[in-house]
Structure 1
Amino acid sequence: MNKTSFDETVALGVQLCHTGKEPLYQQLAGQIRKLILSGRLAAGQRLASGRALAAQLGVSRVTVVTALEQLVAEGYVEARKGSGHFAASDLPEAVMQAGRSKVSAPPPAPARPVRHLPVPFQPSGPDMRLFPHRRWARLMQQVWARPCDELLAGPGAAGWWPLRQQIAGHLRAFRAIECSPEQVFVTPGSVESIEILSQTLFEPGQAIALEEPGYAPVRRAFARAGMRLLPVGIDEAGLKVAALSACRPEPRAVLVTPSRQFPSGMTMPLARRLELLGWAAAQGRYV
């Protein structure tokens, strides 16, 4: 059976409602996800370019790129530098069965060899030339021309309410996390968040598993809280979940960066994420 080209997505039933309440990129991401789960887009199959897909569906390229970025973050699509986007090649059978339609799926494509690309080892160094200085200055001028009282008096311990609303909406759209603004707490950064969690959820001396290699400032934050650090190796799919059972003492929690592992930049596939969540549920641990 010949694999269906993603250039024929319209024939496969991808239809976007331009007048509906759901954003176009969410509609597109949801329909591509269903095509992958049903097997109509085979494992490892290459997707059309963002430009071609935008032309087919009558949407902007930004809409297509945003949808693909969401699917990459969720693990349904793989982004390969210089080659494009591909349907994930290692989705677990349980996930495929849940989304499979009555139409028989084509056989999966053979796995491609992993290419080891050079990785820059200088963190926290974005290209400052890309920062929109003029736009930033204009927006700052607009806000501070008539600042609201809350901005001047302080946003409160949990953060500014409009910002918490926007963060909750972003998490729903890009990470499929259902949360309310009341559950969002704004901190100065990831290290400060770790320090708050350490004091809230754990006792000094308890163990936590971390990716090796991983983000050093977060490790130091856990160490300051008196936690025992258990480094766990990574492979091309991220943290090795099977190695957690060999950790001594048993970790109370595990810290991972699934959407963009530090410092490798890899995205944890959905199969590995489900494996990690299964381990945490069985052991009663935090992730």
Structure 2
Amino acid sequence: MPVSTPALTIEIDRQQQLPIYLQICERFRTAIAAGHLRPGDRVPALRGLATQLNTARGTVELAYTILVDEGYLQMRGAAGTFVSASLPLSVTHSSRGQGLQDTDGRPKFVEAGSPKTADASCSGQPAPRPLAIAVAMSGEPRPLQPGLPALDAFPLKVWNRLVSHRARGAERAVLAYPNPAGYLPLREHIATYLGLSRGVACLPEQVFVTSGYRAALELVLRGLARPNDHVWYEDPGYLLARSFLAETGIQLVPVPVDSEGIDVERGIQLDPEARFALVTPSHQSPLGHTLSLARRLALLDWAEKASRWIIEDDYDSEFRYLGRPLPALKSLDRYDRVIYCGTFSKVMFPGLRLAYVVVPERAVERVGRVACSMNAGSPTLLQAAVADFIEQGHFARHLKRMRTLYAERRMLIVHALEQAFGERLIVDLPPGGIQFAVQFTEGPDGPVDDVAVAARAREAGLAVLPLSIWYANVHGRRTLRGLVIGFANIADAREAGRLALTLRKCLDG
């Protein structure tokens, strides 16, 4: 029996800065939430919708690819593209659809640029030896170091010219104490960039520039947290963030992670009253999974029901090798409960010590007061140089080059690892990021001691980290044994092969 295609009228606003493909994505999400498109419905063909919108076929194809990645749509080859039959009820019966209806009760699309509501905007065990790990990751870069971008490929000549120009100009603002909230032109560029690339709608006033991710967390928690608040934390999760949170007195609630990301239902069982959730939705740290659509919506619903906060660590989502970078969790946030954190450490270089946080409008005043009391603004000279780097187009060009370079370099190390380890290593590549986790298969004497392997690797000059220590319970039954490996600085196939063989010797002791 033929499947009909519902009649759709999609309006796009060519005056908006938001790219057309992201506008198309938003219209489909709205239509699905309002019930105008239901699970199993066929959506318009690429060519037909491109003709209707008077836009390129590739633009529509890009939007459909993102919607498929997010779980909204399914492609069935020659049969066409359909609304996913497995959409959670929170999508198809969502309160987000309320108010999106014509006077005759029929759902409609809201034209881009329509006025927004006034409120719309943009314990387990501590990690083993967190200080030792931080020290090991600092200083002179070493091979296979996780989280380290390609330092050999950064445009140093351009950067030095921009910094020198700012230094020679000797503007009074550059010489004075920095604004605790950040250099305004940089905050404006960040807000524009997030709107265009990550789907995060925010004002420059919501953007706070910090001296790193830890400083961003401190700013947020000092502004919004209460003594003894509980926070969901991904298990396994980012080591250094876990150690910092433990120091603050906040009660950590490790919540298991699987192939769909953090298990929201399990989190509710473990601690339904937690006030914060710290998550890495685009590229889970360290396993690399992407938080599924169902989990994203469940997490947002959990936060909305009791005025909780979600801290989204979007640390390296710019680098995705299968399709374009997915929109951030914040882009789905209709309740203004997501606090978005980003960094320049992965997209430029970590020595900058520049990160940023986007806080909901309702929290700007509180966080602003804390920023002033901390009086810990980052050097204006570097912020101004980064603003110039973005404004003059160097940032966008650098990201484009790095996506291509990293896609090549990660395959170099993957092939080398497969040749060196054979069946002793499981490599399950995530779709993005500048690091990935590998898992050891059991040896003749049982599970591999990945901590010992990583220690031998450090003695051999490598900077890999054991996977097991990213878990709250290092010796737990579900703890995976393996390594977290960075690949961005691998120069060629010969170097990849040499490093893989060195690592293989460390496995055998």
TM-score, structure 2 normalization: 0.40
The 1:269–1:44 alpha-carbon spacing in structure 2 relative to 1, beyond 3 Å, is farther
> Does the 8 Å CA contact 2:228/2:250 hold for their aligned counterparts?
yes
Secondary structure at 1:185 match in 2: strand
Quote the Cα distance in structure 1 between the aligned partners of 2:83 and 2:183: 39
- Give the deviation of 1:87 after TM superposition: 8.1
Structure 2 residue identity aligned to 1:22: Q
Match of 2:224?
201
Determine helix, strand or coil for the equivalent of 2:257: strand
Query: Which structure 2 residue ranges, 5 or more long, are not aligned?
Result: 47-53, 75-81, 107-143, 311-509
**Residues of 2 paired with 1:87 and 1:147: CA distance?**
57
Q: Residue 30 of structure 1: which of 17, 23, 32 is its match?
A: 23
1:237 and 1:16, CA in 2 relative to 1: closer, same or farther beyond 3 A? same
Q: Distance in 2 between matches of 1:59 and 1:151?
A: 46
The Cα of 1:243 is off from its aligned counterpart by 1.1
Q: CA deviation at 1:206?
A: 2.6
Q: Distance in 2 between matches of 1:173 and 1:148?
A: 30
Task: Name the aligned partner's letter for residue 163 of structure 2.
Answer: M
The separation in 1 between residues aligned to 2:28 and 2:39, in whole angstroms, is 5
CA contact (8 A) 2:284 2:290 kept: yes
Tell me which residue corresponds to 2:379. Answer: none
Structure 1 pair 93–257 and aligned structure 2 pair: CA distance change class (3 A) = same
In structure 2, the partner of 1:275 is 298
Distance in structure 1 (CA, Å) of the matches to 2:175 and 2:68? 39
Cα contact 1:70–1:175 (8 A) shared by 2: no
The one-letter amino acid of 2:250's match is M
- Matched with 1:180 is 203
CA–CA distance in 2 between the matches of 1:133 and 1:181?
28
Aligned CA distance change for structure 1 residues 243 and 73 (closer, same or farther; 3 Å): same
Match of 2:244 among 221, 224, 234: 221
Pick closer, same or farther for the CA change 1:256–1:69 going to 2, 3 Å: farther
Pick one of 191, 204, 214 that aligns with 1:168: 191
Cα distance between partner residues in 2 of 1:176 and 1:90 = 24
Is contact 1:44–1:89 with CA below 8 Å preserved after alignment?
no
SS in 2 for 1:162: helix
Higher relative contact order (CA 8 A, sep 6+): 2
Asked if residue 260 in structure 1 is aligned to residue 260 in structure 2, the reply is: no
Give the fraction of aligned pairs with identical amino acids, expressed as a percent.
34
Match of 1:21 in 2: 15
Q: 1:248 to 1:279 in 2, by over 3 A?
A: closer
Higher CA-based Rg: 2
How far is 1:200 from its partner? 2.6
Q: Provide the rounded CA distance (Å) in 2 between the counterparts of 1:194 and 1:72.
A: 32
> What amino acid maps onto 2:277 in structure 1?
V
**Displacement, 1:232?**
0.2
Question: Shift in Å at residue 231 of structure 1?
Answer: 0.4
Between the aligned partners of 1:129 and 1:203, the Cα distance in structure 2 is 44
Q: Identify if the C-alpha distance between structure 1 residues 206 and 34 changes in structure 2 by more than 3 Å, giving closer, same or farther.
A: closer
2-structure distance, mates of 1:64, 1:123: 33
Q: Deviations over 1:12-71 (max 9, x none)?
A: 999988xx432473x1222245357465997999x99xxxxxxx955999x987x68976
1:180 to 1:29, Cα distance in 2 relative to 1, 3 A: closer
Q: Does 1:240 align with 2:257?
A: no
Deviations 1:223-249 (A, max 9, x none): 111111110001222111111222258
Partner of 2:91: 95
1:209, CA displacement in angstroms?
1.1
Moved more, 137-146 or 214-223: 137-146
Contact 2:72 2:84 in 1 (8 A): yes
Matched to 2:24, the amino acid is: Q
Q: Which residue in the other structure is 1:123 paired with?
A: 146
Q: Where does residue 368 of structure 2 map in the other structure?
A: none
Q: What RMSD in Å do the two structures reach over aligned CA positions?
A: 4.4
Contact 1:73 1:267 in 2 (8 A): no
SS of structure 1 residue aligned to 2:195? helix
Asked if structure 2 preserves the Cα contact closer than 8 Å seen for 1:16 and 1:24, the reply is no
Compute the displacement of 1:142 (Å). Answer: 3.6
CA contact (8 A) 2:231 2:251 kept: yes
Moved more, 162-171 or 35-44: 35-44
Aligned position for 2:330: none
CA deviation map 1:181-208 (0-9, x unaligned) = 2222111111111122232322343321
Q: Quick one: distance in 2 between partners of 1:155 and 1:74?
A: 40
Q: Contact (CA 8 Å) 1:211, 1:232: kept in 2 or not?
A: yes
> Structure 1: how far apart are the matches of 2:83 and 2:285?
24
Q: Which amino acid aligns with 1:31?
A: I
TM, length-normalised to structure 1: 0.66
Structure 1 residues without counterparts, runs of 5 or longer:
5-11, 49-55, 79-85, 103-120
Q: 1:189 aligns with which of 212, 220, 232?
A: 212
**Rounded Cα–Cα distance in structure 1 between residues aligned with 2:277 and 2:256:** 12
Contact between 2:42 and 2:83, CA under 8 Å: does it hold in 1? yes
With over 3 angstroms needed to count, the CA separation of the structure-2 counterparts of 1:200 and 1:14, relative to structure 1, is closer
